[in-house]
Amino acid sequence: MPDHYLKEIFEKICLTLEDSGFDIEDIINPFPDFEEIDDIGLFEGLCKAIFSAQAKWETYEKNFWRIDPLLFHYDFRRIVNLSDDEINGICEQMIEMEVRDRFIRRKIHDFRKNASVFIGLLEKNVSVHSFLKRELSDKEGLIEKLIRKGSPYKLSGVGLPVCCEFLKNVGVDDFKPDVHMIYLFNRIGIVKTKNPKIATYKELHSVRKMGMEIATSANKPFHAVDNILLFFCAEGKGEICTTRTPKCRRCKLLNENICKGFPKFGESTQASLFR
């Protein structure tokens, strides 16, 4: 895909958001410094990446001031010892907060499993931070270790999109190929997935690669373009190219004939998020 075309797509998305009253600089959240994050901060970034999958994120955002203490501020040494009854109690409290996530229980159980992975590294006298820093010399190899079944470092509830979100959360530049990007890229014809509701592993990688190419064409960090495109699509954010009810009349991609106003693809995908 020509760089100038990808750059034009990104510029039209930014103009659409600006015309809707949003400030692009405000959308690009402060990016954390990986060197300053300790192991508990890494675990928090992981947990919040898992929370973001298949959930109404805005219902989490407004409740983290209550959720964080429930989870011991992500102290994995305490989370690893949670009983099933305690997990159920945490989930019930989150449901009472009106957090909209049908996978809450599954996710908290995943947190307990992942706490064991973190502790397993510490028992080898290796901090999680030092492990990640060493492995980041081959970031693609690290991603495979974190998401592949059979790997001793496999994280529960983490597929490629969640892994990329985890990296972003802890200050590693990346682009997340989530459901919003799958729908957006299909609609404007720069990526084709056979079934957007069930993207394959290879297709997810193609979406991630395309997001990175857009960032390169615009001379922007991957995470900055990720934030802007997510804001452009997500409910509770810009709400332009949402999965179910895209606001095509407000979008400059349609007006410039970059997008033909493709119909929505149907229900929100699970997109191999939890593999």
* Per-residue pLDDT reduced to its tens digit, 134-154: 999 999 999 999 999 999 999
pLDDT 10s digits, 192-231: 988 877 899 999 999 999 999 999 999 999 999 999 999 9
How distant, in Å, are the alpha carbons of 166, 214, 216, 224 from that of 220? 20, 9, 6, 7
**Which tokens in the block code for residue 44?**
């928090």
Residue 94 lies in a domain: yes
Residue 110 lies in a domain: yes
- Residue 143 shares a structural domain with residue 185: no
- Residue 211 shares a structural domain with residue 128: no
Residue 146 lies in a domain: yes
Residue 121 pLDDT greater than 90, yes or no: yes
- Residue 84 shares a structural domain with residue 128: yes
- Residue 45 shares a structural domain with residue 152: yes
- Residue 237 shares a structural domain with residue 218: yes
- Residue 165 shares a structural domain with residue 231: no
Q: Quick one: pLDDT at residue 42?
A: 98
- Residue 203 shares a structural domain with residue 104: no
Residue 267 lies in a domain: no
> Is the four-CA dihedral 167, 208, 267, 262 of positive or negative sign?
positive
Burial class (CB in 10 A: 0-12, 13-18, 19+), 144: middle
**Which tokens in the block code for residue 166?**
């985890």
Residue after which a domain boundary falls, among 146, 169, 192: 169
The total number of structural domains in the chain stands at 2
Residue after which a domain boundary falls, among 169, 186, 213: 169
Residue after which a domain boundary falls, among 112, 145, 169: 169
Residue 148 lies in a domain: yes
- Residue 40 shares a structural domain with residue 165: yes
Any idea which of 16-30, 119-133, 173-187, 245-259 has the lowest mean pLDDT? Answer: 245-259
- Residue 50 shares a structural domain with residue 150: yes
- Please state, rounded to an integer, the average pLDDT across all residues of the chain: 92
Indicate the pLDDT class of residue 45, thresholds 50, 70 and 90: very high
Of how many residues is the chain composed?
275
Residue 270 lies in a domain: no
Q: Are 225 and 185 in contact (CB under 8 A)?
A: no
Q: Are 78 and 72 in contact (CB under 8 A)?
A: yes
Q: Quick one: pLDDT at residue 100?
A: 96
Q: Are 234 and 22 in contact (CB under 8 A)?
A: no
CATH code: domain of residue 147: 1.10.340.30
Residue 275 pLDDT greater than 50, yes or no: no
SS3 sequence, 107-160?
Answer: HHHHHHHHHHHHHHHHCCCCCHHHHHHHHHHHHHHHHHHHHCCCCCCCCCCCCH
- Residue 100 shares a structural domain with residue 198: no
Residue 23 lies in a domain: yes
- Domain range for 65: 34-169
- Residue 144 shares a structural domain with residue 43: yes
Q: Provide the percentage of residues in the chain whose pLDDT is more than 90.
A: 83
Residue 95 lies in a domain: yes
- Residue 164 shares a structural domain with residue 196: no
